[in-house]
Every structure is written in C-alpha cells, then in structure tokens.
Amino acid sequence: MGNQTFRQLVEQHPEILADRHKLAFTRQDSAAESATRFREEGVVMLRGVIPTDTLDECRRAFGRFVGTLGKPRRNFDDSAMAVDDGPSPNWDKGEEDSGSWHPPWVVRDMDQSPTAMVLSELIKSWAWPVIERICDSTDIVVMFGLCLARHRIDEDLLLGVHQDVTAVNPEVPLSIWIPLGEVAPKKHSGLGFIVPSPGHALPADSSNDVGVDYLMSNLDKVWVPHYHAGDLTIHSRYSPHFTTGYGTRSERYSLEIRLWAKEDHLAKYYDPSLRVSRRNGVPVIVETKCSLGIGAHAFLANTAMLAMQPASAPAARRRAPIGQTLMGALRSVVR
C-alpha cells in the first residue's frame, strides 16, 4: 500500500472522481449556500469563474516565462515590469523534471502578469461575494508572500496527504487554487480532497504527510475533481488534500491565492499585499503595500489597473500593458 500511486488508486476506485458530496457550485447558486458548505466540509468548487480567453493568454504568458528559465534572460529594460524581481537563482539551470514554482509577481511575459490578470477577474466575478461570505467580511487582504505560481509537469506520484495548517502556514484560514486551464483526472496533475475537514490539525510526519493509512481509511470521503477551464477550489487550512500525478508528462499552470479578512494578527504577512473593500457596493482595490526591498511594485500597479477595468471590457483591453507614465513614476520611486 505504501508504494501505491495515484494512478493506481483512480483505476481501482473510479468513484472518487464523482462529486459525491455535492460541493461544486455555479453562479446560479447563492453565495450563502456555497459559504455554508465550505464551513461544513472544508472545500468547495466554484465553476466558470475566470473567463477562458483570459486563462488562455495567462497560460501562454506563463509558458513563455518558464521557457526563459535556464537561458540568458530577455532584456526587460523596455518592459514596464522591469522594476520587479526576476526569477530566483534556483532556476538558473532551468526547471526541475516536475516543473517550477515562483512568487506570483515574478511570473510575467514582458508587461503581462498571469496573476494580475486572474486576480483582477476574480475580484470582479460572481465568486467574490462567496469569498466575502466565507471570510465574513468585505474587507479582504491578499497576502502575496504566501501565494504561489506553479508550473507542474505530471509524473507518477505516490499516495500522500497533507494539510496547509502544517505544510504551509498555521494562521491563514484558506487557500484558493486556480488552474489556468482544464485539469482532468488521469491526464493532468491536480488536487484531491478528503471531506469533510476534521476541523483541526492531524498528526503528521516530518515531511508534513498525514499518512497513506488516513487516505485509505477514508476512501468513501475522497474527491478528485475535474477542473474545467475557469473553475477554482477553495479549501480550508484543515482540509486534508493531495496533489495527484499520473505520469502523463502533461503540463499544468496554476495559482495558489491566500487571502483573508483584514485582521491585526495577520498583518505580518501583508508585505506585499493588496486590500479589497467595497465602495458604493462594488469591490475595489483600496490599498497596496510593498516595501522598497521587495520587487513587486509594478505587479501591484498592474493588478490595480486591471481591476479598475469593467468586467465587460474586451479581452484585449483586459490584457493591455501598463501605462508608461505610471511605470516611469514607479521607477523613480523604487530606484
């Protein structure tokens, strides 16, 4: 059992692919119902949140970014994002066999930032009221230092389970997982969950793994969802979950977004960050924070500008580069 892979698990137990717990919701469902189910089960899926044309462009931009890893970097001097951090030296020799992971503000293709594009759409989407309900607040902070942009190349993975409370951060109550395209079980590396959440931290080993026995003894509670382009999941810090792998070598691009209501005890995670609140009933970015030593200033400006565009704006406008005047001002501040 200890050497069993997720591919074998799915082949032997195809029932885990079904939404047996009815945790997938659409814009036709009420925000209150979705939030209630999150509190009860520890995870919900929201379908059709991010426009597919935005995701297509984000995926291509992310792909071009990872294509530069391990190679001489392109000259970003003429890019509005040039003031921001570049990739970590860890990637100077290219990606690992399984891909790479980065702070979200680092991933960009010239003036296009996948995280800025996706987050601006999320704030304007029908899912944002659900997030507000879950957070029990309309004053929400996105903590970018705890977020991640990941390129995953699918490989056979052994069974394992973890919780974010021990593997990521003990204080941040939830994570939002947004793949930048379809993630189909048996084809792409994705996420799976054990529901309901126990509501507390489970015993884990030194690698934060809860153990195969926990998974196998809860097979009737396992859910490996099929993400269609535009879908996302929200899971709590106590939700036992896992990354799937089938050995197909397919590529998956995804974002992990961590946010919560503005609270003093989380302020130590607010650099860099942005705060979203309602003005005249509309969620807008009301504050950004980024110390001079962190190269995320252009990224935050990009996100704020995209979020100000109407949700009905054409795709070309939603992906428009940042104005050179604003970025010139940013350069004078951060240099």
pLDDT digits (tens, 9 = 90+) for 123-143: 999 999 999 999 999 999 999
Euclidean distance between CA atoms 9 and 245, whole angstroms: 11
Q: What pLDDT is stored for residue 268 in this prediction?
A: 97
Q: Does residue 220 lie in a domain region?
A: yes
Q: What pLDDT is stored for residue 333 in this prediction?
A: 42
Q: Does residue 136 lie in a domain region?
A: yes
Q: What pLDDT is stored for residue 226 in this prediction?
A: 97
Edge to edge, what strands does the sheet with 259-261 contain? 259-261, 140-143, 273-279, 282-289
Q: Does residue 104 lie in a domain region?
A: yes
Q: What pLDDT is stored for residue 80 in this prediction?
A: 67
* CATH number of the domain to which 133 belongs: 2.60.120.620
Q: What is the pTM of this model?
A: 0.92
Q: Does residue 184 lie in a domain region?
A: yes
Per the structure, the count of domains in the chain is: 1
Q: What pLDDT is stored for residue 317 in this prediction?
A: 46
Euclidean distance between CA atoms 260 and 149, whole angstroms: 19
Q: Does residue 44 lie in a domain region?
A: yes
C-beta separation of 319 from 302 below 8 A: no
Q: Does residue 1 lie in a domain region?
A: no
Phi, psi of 295 (to 5 degrees): -90, 70
Q: What pLDDT is stored for residue 331 in this prediction?
A: 44
Q: Does residue 30 lie in a domain region?
A: yes
pLDDT along the chain (335 residues), means of 10: 84 94 96 97 98 97 95 61 88 96 95 95 97 98 98 96 97 98 97 97 94 94 97 98 97 98 97 97 96 94 90 54 48 42
For residue 186, give its domain range.
6-334
Q: Does residue 321 lie in a domain region?
A: yes
Closest CA to 240 of 212, 206, 269: 212
Phi, psi of 183 (to 5 degrees): -130, 105
Q: What pLDDT is stored for residue 82 in this prediction?
A: 74
Q: What is the 3-state secondary structure (H, E, C) of the chain?
A: CCCCEHHHHHHHCHHHHCCCCCCEECCCCCHHHHHHHHHHHCEEEECCCCCHHHHHHHHHHHHHHHHCCCCCCCCCCCCCCCCCCCCCHHHCCCCECCEEEECCCCCCECCECHHHHHHHHHHHCCHHHHHHHHHCCCCEEEEHHHCEEEEEECCCCECCCECHHHHCCCCCCEEEEEECCCECCCCCCCEEEECCCCCCCCCCCCCCCCCHHHHHCCHHHEECCCECCCCEEEEECCCCEEECCCCCCCEEEEEEECEEECCHHHHHHCCCEEEEEEECCEEEEEEEECCCCCCCHHHHHHHHHHHHCCCCCCHHHHCCCCCHHHHHHHHHHHC
Q: What pLDDT is stored for residue 161 in this prediction?
A: 96
Q: What pLDDT is stored for residue 334 in this prediction?
A: 44
Q: What pLDDT is stored for residue 329 in this prediction?
A: 43
